[in-house]
């Protein structure tokens, strides 16, 4: 059975997926199997919606990432967008375009990874679409979540004098991918194994985003889906401010730092385009108490103060006392 | 500029799309440009969500369909799903995977077609995703809509004795595609031109779906996204009933009928897999008054009674007095 593939037909494959889904929550009135899903809206909350695609050959390579990691990551990058808005995840739709020769065991593995993360954050899979393609596999995921009307975390909202914070650390995802490419999977006791796990199964900062929103601790927020360099410019542009970031304060992942240094690269510079799915956010100095509460409620995530918001609209990286323009980020098609 | 392409970069292309969008409605609190869109839910209504992909080489061929038609169709097939639930469209997310060499004028044309339909049904484009791919173009669209809690049109709900109805006619989309393939675009005064338009720019039955829902006229409903043969089986399975369809009552499009007959094909049989995006629905005999009201409110759409719901769980096509099993539908990957 697991060697079987797409010739089973769309209906059989969809039935196979549906059979593995946990019981739907009561607010899902119609789940997969009708023309559309029907949900009861969350009470006194706003709807948050996002979509993101993983394209084989662009965002993942099946020689490096097992299908379970692709399924995990496809959901994770979307939950990260909800986290960046301060939203609680609710439901997801999964649209898969599958190339010829895709096997049922690959689809099963994709779902293994998906369900692992979906169960952790109670995200109901309420619908989707399966189609064939002659090209690379593409997984497009839509997520919905809810957020209180005065709790939305926007990119706009940073004001001069606000402090700039970063969750977790940076660089691990880039080193994870690069080391998978050049050296293959690392031994479990190697520090690189953690970097590779961070690339393959990024942990979206859902709890932190929720805690920042509910405590109204952040004045602006965004995730590092295209790396820190992209995020600092986006927040600055959206807020109409500048940011001054201290290179020495940036939390580069320890094993990533060692890896970069052993190759003669500057660990900070090399980490700026790493898609680590951390949160970059700003906080008014008088809201530090709210921030402390939020961090306590978010669990064990590390938060580092990395800079300050400025009225002058430049985005600046301070390195050993001298300042330089912050590098620009990664953009598709370039 | 129009000869330029993806080398402009993701941010520039997104800005270009955003510049063309009409003003967002007041219930869109955050539209494109943040990590996710934020919407105020519709009052006293349920959320309806659906996703569908158009894959180049599977669902469209750029030699036959101009990009404006692809944009129109990508939204239309999704609005048709909302119509089949009785939902009023609200917002959409557009995820595009674009192959190398895609030009900006092609993206513009896609958006022309999209906006034509979006404006007609007041669908706000609130977010999306642009990515490159090495394979064929894929447009994945997510739509949301709202429906009153007692007005949802499900596939399940048909009961023995209910009457079976079909909107519009069938066969035109199949003939439109086939004639484009074999003979190219038809002259405007040729009946085939209408079939080709129906394939390229299917008109989702949004007003009819809404009217059926609001008047509580239908006991079950589904769209013909995979053709009538698929739809009759889906409604029968979901409702746990059988359907008896009168071949002689099926409204085959006039030019399509002529085209099939000139090729020695049975017009009814050849129309059963045509993806015409009409609505198939059932109605209790005592709700005929509601149905009349709904049809009046839906405007100029033709409605034909084509059969009856049976307790015996077979799906049957009656042809000149004798009965045969209803053919099974089109399914992807087969």
Q: Do A93 and B37 touch (CB under 8 A)?
A: no
- pLDDT value of position A5: 78
- pLDDT value of position A300: 85
**Residue A283 is part of a domain; what is its CATH number?**
3.90.650.10
Rounded mean pLDDT, B34-38: 96
- Chain B, window 99-128: residues with a beta carbon less than 8 angstroms from a chain A beta carbon: 99, 126-128
**Residue A93 is part of a domain; what is its CATH number?**
3.30.1330.10
Q: Which of the residues B5, B28, B49 would you substitute to probe the A interface, choosing the one with the greatest number of A C-beta atoms within 10 Å?
A: B49
Last residue of a domain, one of B117, B147, B177: B147
- pLDDT value of position A328: 87
Number of helical H runs and strand E runs in chain B:
10, 13
In the predicted structure, residue A177 carries a pLDDT above the cut 80: yes
Please say whether the beta carbons of B78 and B119 come within 8 A: no
Asked if residue A334 belongs to a domain, the reply is no
- pLDDT value of position A7: 79
Cite the DSSP H helix spans in chain B: 10-20, 67-85, 104-120, 172-183, 191-200, 206-214, 228-239, 254-262, 267-271, 288-297
In the predicted structure, residue A1 carries a pLDDT above the cut 50: no
As for how many domains chain B has, the answer is 2
Sheet of strand A88-98, all strands in order from the earlier edge strand to the far edge: A124-132, A88-98, A138-147, A46-55, B37-39, B28-30
Asked if residue A182 belongs to a domain, the reply is yes
Q: How far apart are CA A55 and CA A96, in angstroms?
A: 10
Question: B58 and B169, same structural domain?
Answer: no
Question: B169 and B317, same structural domain?
Answer: yes
Average pLDDT, rounded, for chain A: 95
Strand partners, B141: B52, B94
Question: B123 and B18, same structural domain?
Answer: yes
Please say whether the beta carbons of A38 and A24 come within 8 A: no
> Considering all CA atoms of chain B, what is the largest pairwise distance in Å, rounded to the nearest integer?
64
Asked if residue B152 belongs to a domain, the reply is no
A106 φ, ψ (degrees, to nearest 5): -70, -40
User: How many Cβ atoms are within 10 Å of B98's Cβ, its own excluded?
Assistant: 23
Domain ranges, residue B297: 163-325
Rounded mean pLDDT, A123-133: 96
- Chain A, window 229-268: residues with a beta carbon less than 8 angstroms from a chain B beta carbon: 238
By the CB < 8 Å criterion, does A49 face chain B?
yes
Q: How far apart are CA B71 and CA B198, in angstroms?
A: 14
Q: Which of the residues B5, B38, B236 would you substitute to probe the A interface, choosing the one with the greatest number of A C-beta atoms within 10 Å?
A: B38
pTM for this entry: 0.95
Question: How sure is the predictor about B12, in pLDDT bands with cuts at 50, 70 and 90?
Answer: confident
Question: B169 and B234, same structural domain?
Answer: yes
B-chain residue closest to A220, CA distance? B34
Instruction: Express each pLDDT in A32-53 by its tens digit.
Output: 999 999 999 999 999 999 999 9
Asked if residue A183 belongs to a domain, the reply is yes
Please say whether the beta carbons of B201 and B135 come within 8 A: no
Q: Which chain A residues contact residue B142 at CB under 8 A? A: 49, 51, 93, 142
Question: B72 and B170, same structural domain?
Answer: no
Q: Which of the residues A37, A76, A330, A333 would you substitute to probe the B interface, choosing the one with the greatest number of B C-beta atoms within 10 Å?
A: A333
Q: Which chain A residues contact residue B50 at CB under 8 A? A: 35-37, 93, 127
Q: Do B30 and A128 touch (CB under 8 A)?
A: no
ipTM: 0.95
CB neighbours of B4 closer than 8 A, spacing ≥ 6?
B103, B104
B112-141 b/e with 16+ CB inside 10 Å = b? Answer: bbbbebbeebebbbbbbbbbbbebbbbbbb
Question: B137 and B49, same structural domain?
Answer: yes
Question: B303 and B176, same structural domain?
Answer: yes
Q: How far apart are CA A113 and CA A131, in angstroms?
A: 20
Please say whether the beta carbons of B215 and B294 come within 8 A: yes
Q: Which chain A residues contact residue B10 at CB under 8 A? A: 331-334
Question: How sure is the predictor about B300, in pLDDT bands with cuts at 50, 70 and 90?
Answer: confident
Question: B56 and B27, same structural domain?
Answer: yes
Asked if residue A330 belongs to a domain, the reply is no
Question: A182 and A62, same structural domain?
Answer: no
- pLDDT value of position B1: 46
Asked if residue B333 belongs to a domain, the reply is no
SS3 A320: coil
Asked if residue A318 belongs to a domain, the reply is yes
CB neighbours of A257 closer than 8 A, spacing ≥ 6?
A171, A267
Asked if residue B332 belongs to a domain, the reply is no
Instruction: Express each pLDDT in B79-105 by its tens digit.
Output: 999 999 999 999 999 999 999 999 999
Dihedral sign of CA atoms B129, B130, B132, B135 in order: positive
Last residue of a domain, one of B147, B181, B209: B147
DSSP-derived letter for residue B330 is -
DSSP-derived letter for residue A25 is P
- pLDDT value of position A6: 78
Question: How sure is the predictor about B6, in pLDDT bands with cuts at 50, 70 and 90?
Answer: confident
A97 φ, ψ (degrees, to nearest 5): -110, 120
Cite the DSSP H helix spans in A94-225: 104-120, 172-183, 191-200, 206-214
Instruction: Express each pLDDT in B218-236 by its tens digit.
Output: 999 999 999 999 999 999 9
Extract the tokens encoding B298: 């839906």
Q: Give the H or E element holding residue A262.
A: helix A254-262
By the CB < 8 Å criterion, does B328 face chain A?
no
Last residue of a domain, one of A86, A113, A147: A147
Helical axes A206-214 vs A288-297, angle rounded to 10°: 140
Question: B15 and B53, same structural domain?
Answer: yes
Question: A169 and A141, same structural domain?
Answer: no
Question: B230 and B115, same structural domain?
Answer: no
Share of chain A above pLDDT 90, in %: 91
């Amino acid at each position: 059975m697991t060697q079987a593939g797409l010739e089973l037909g769309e209906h059989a494959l969809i039935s196979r997926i549906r059979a593995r889904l946990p019981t739907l929550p009561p607010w899902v009135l119609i789940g997969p199997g009708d023309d559309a899903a029907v949900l009861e809206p969350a009470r006194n909350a706003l709807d948050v919606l996002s979509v993101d695609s993983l394209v084989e050959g662009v965002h993942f390579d099946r020689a490096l990432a097992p299908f379970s990691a692709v399924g995990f990551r496809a959901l994770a990058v979307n939950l990260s967008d909800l986290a960046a808005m301060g939203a609680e995840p609710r439901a997801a739709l999964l649209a898969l375009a599958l190339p010829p020769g895709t096997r049922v065991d690959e689809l099963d593995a994709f779902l293994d990874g998906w369900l692992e993360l979906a169960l952790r954050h109670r995200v109901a899979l309420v619908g989707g679409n399966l189609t064939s393609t002659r090209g690379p596999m593409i997984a497009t995921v839509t997520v919905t979540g809810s957020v209180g009307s005065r709790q939305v975390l926007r990119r706009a909202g940073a004001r001069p004098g606000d402090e700039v914070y970063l969750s977790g650390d940076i660089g691990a995802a880039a080193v994870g991918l690069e080391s998978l490419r050049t050296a293959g999977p690392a031994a479990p006791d190697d520090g690189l194994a953690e970097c590779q796990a961070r690339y393959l199964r990024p942990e979206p900062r859902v709890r932190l985003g929720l805690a920042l929103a509910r405590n109204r601790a952040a004045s602006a927020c965004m995730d590092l889906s295209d790396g820190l360099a992209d995020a600092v410019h986006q927040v600055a542009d959206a807020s109409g401010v500048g940011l001054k970031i201290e290179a020495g304060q940036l939390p580069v992942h320890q094993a990533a730092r060692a890896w970069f240094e052993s190759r003669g690269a500057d660990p900070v510079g090399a980490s700026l385009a790493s898609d680590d799915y951390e949160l970059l956010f700003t906080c008014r100095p008088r809201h530090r108490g709210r921030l402390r509460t939020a961090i306590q409620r978010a669990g064990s995530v590390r938060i580092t103060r990395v800079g300050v918001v400025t009225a002058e609209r430049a985005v600046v990286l301070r390195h050993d006392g001298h300042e330089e323009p912050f590098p620009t980020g990664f953009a598709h098609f370039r």
